[in-house]
Amino acid sequence: MTAASFDFTSVLRPGLPPAAPKWSGLAKFNFTGGNNDAEQLPLDALMAAAASVLAREGRTLATYGLESGPLGYLPLRRFLVEKLKRTAGIACTAEEILVTSGSLQALDLVNGALLASGDTVLIEQESYQGSLNRLTRLGVNALGIPLDRDGMRVEAAAAALADLKRRGIHAKYIYTIPTVQNPTATILPEQRRVELLKLSQEYEVPIFEDDCYADLIWDGRRPPAIYAMSKRGGVIHIGSFSKSIAPALRVGYIVAPWEILSRILPLKTDAGSGALEQMVLGEFCARHFADHVPKLTRGLRAKVETLMEALAEQFGTAAEFEDPKGGIFLWVKLPDAVDIHKLAQAALAAGVAINPGPEWSTDKAYSRSRMRLCFASPSHEAIRQGVAVLADVCRREFGVPVRSANVEQRARA
Ligand SMILES: Cc1ncc(COP(=O)(O)O)c(C=O)c1O
């Protein structure tokens, strides 16, 4: 019998997502995804942490949940209590933190507790594809709230909530990535956080705060987390070690008052997230996290400077973007003539992978000529070469940019 001889079609559940394509490797110049800088991985310290924690506590691996219970490895949660207080102003206990398998699982768990098909949520108009896709799959109406240079426009959120109220619709949450937004890299100022909390109170709509890039700010200065500013507890906060340490570890977390965390926890039916990575992180972070992050952000800042220079050189005024204050992404606007999906396909054939804007937006027309570029994982040289190839492909397909490296170029037939 060959693997393909049994036909599963008749037994597949209706409504499944489309079949996954087989993985064909990474593009030569990969600007996609939320990958990190391999050079910046603190490998020696991670190896030392693994050796010491296993020597000391390795036998606890024989027990589901180690000896820390269902919320996750206790030393890691204790580290988070200290770190969230120091960096985000959050006062919480280890019993208000649930360690998850990446913050993607955190998104699933929070959605699982709050959302049903037909519900409505507010979300920044440009937002994380993983969040948008989940809402679509759940049959939830995602109402996009436009952003400006300071993140979500709170007056637009107010208008949307008032309109929903008139129509008798109670939104389930306001999802926001307030501190280095994905994809726009904006940071919501403290005053807007105050206003958003007022709206949350007025309309009895919780805020779902996704803070996974908050450690990656060049000058390390950030407003307090919305969670920290709430006096009423109507905020659920999620975070991740994917961006500050490494995404393949798959360690994230939820911070929430026990009243709601106790409703979320029964949905985590995997008997605990991977223990080894939690142990290694717990050991590593207590000693090295605070020193590691500024080193990482210095390296990321250097990379985004290379990317901005390369774009300016190759695209000139045809590529518009804001100098980000942190993170791993640049959100770039190309001329209106550029159909970014078409550019992405042609670029991929030439070895350059980019994320097309419409997949990161609820407004497909607005994002039609926009793209998201991750600058963390390609090397400086790959950034320079990849942008040059991208400009070439763009010129061939759409006639822009007209000038590259200050030399007038002709669109090839
Ligand atoms: C805003 C946001 N939330 C959540 C995630 C999920 O990250 P992870 O599951 O690796 O923690 C990402 C990943 O890129 C993200 O950008």
Question: For position 142, what pLDDT does the model report?
Answer: 98
State the burial class of residue 122 (Cβ atoms within 10 Å of its Cβ: 0-12, 13-18, 19+).
buried
Cβ(130) – ligand 1 distance below 6 Å = yes
Which pLDDT belongs to residue 410? Answer: 57
The atom of ligand 1 lying closest to the CA of 33 is: 14
Ligand 1: centre distance to CA 394 (Å): 29
CA of 53 to the centre of ligand 1 (A): 27
Return the HEC string of the chain. CCCCCCCCHHHCCCCCCCCCCCCCCCCCEECCCCCCCHHHCCHHHHHHHHHHHHHHHHHHHHCCCCCCCCCCCHHHHHHHHHHHHHHHCCCCCHHHEEEECHHHHHHHHHHHHHCCCCCEEEEECECCHHHHHHHHHHCCEEEEECEECCEECHHHHHHHHHHHHHCCCCCCCEEECCECCCCCCCECCHHHHHHHHHHHHHHCCCEEEECCCCCCECCCCCCCCHHHHCCCCCEEEEEECCCCCCHHHCCEEEECCHHHHHHHHHHCCCCCCCHHHHHHHHHHHHHHHHHHHHHHHHHHHHHHHHHHHHHHHHHHHHCECCCCCECCEEEEECCCCCCHHHHHHHHHHCCEECEEHHHHECCCCCCCCEEEEECCCCCHHHHHHHHHHHHHHHHHHHCCCCEECCEECCCCC
pLDDT at 183 over 90: yes
Res 1 pLDDT > 60: no
Distance 325 CA to ligand 1 centre (A): 18
- pLDDT digits 0-9 by tens, 348-402: 999 999 999 999 999 999 999 999 999 999 999 999 999 999 999 999 999 999 8
Question: Facing residues of 43 across strands?
Answer: none
Ligand 1, from 98, 242, 355, 374: best to mutate by most atoms within 8 Å of Cβ? 242
Mean pLDDT score, 282-289: 98
Which pTM value belongs to this model? Answer: 0.96
Express as a percent the part of the chain with pLDDT over 70. Answer: 97
Report whether residue 40 contacts ligand 1, using a CB cutoff of 6 Å. Answer: no
- Position 412 scores a pLDDT of 45
Mean pLDDT calculated for residue range 310-323: 97
Binding site membership of 123 for ligand 1 (Cβ less than 6 Å) = no
Average pLDDT, the chain: 96
The average pLDDT across 183-193 equals 98
Per-residue tokens: 257: 């008052």
Is any ligand 1 atom within 6 A of the Cβ of residue 252?
A: yes
Q: How far is the CA of 34 from the centre of ligand 1 (A)?
A: 7
**Residue 413 confidence class, pLDDT cut points 50, 70, 90:** very low
pLDDT mean over 244-256: 98
User: Ligand 1 centre and the CA of 212: distance in Å?
Assistant: 6
Output the residue whose Cα is nearest ligand 1's atom 7: 103
132 CA distance to ligand 1 centroid (A)? 12
Output the CA angle 114-200-372, nearest 5 degrees. Answer: 75
Share of the chain above pLDDT 90, in %: 94
At 402 the pLDDT is 87
Distance 14 CA to ligand 1 centre (A): 28
With a 6 Å cutoff on the Cβ, whether 242 touches ligand 1 is yes
* Whether the CB of 281 sits within 6 Å of ligand 1: no
Cβ–ligand 1 contact at 326 (below 6 Å): no
Cα 247 from chain centroid (whole Å): 11
Protein residue closest via CA to atom 14 of ligand 1: 34
User: Does residue 210 have its Cβ closer than 6 Å to ligand 1?
Assistant: yes
Enter the tokens of residue 185: 């890299």
Exposed (0-12), middle (13-18) or buried (19+): which is 405, by Cβ within 10 Å?
Answer: exposed
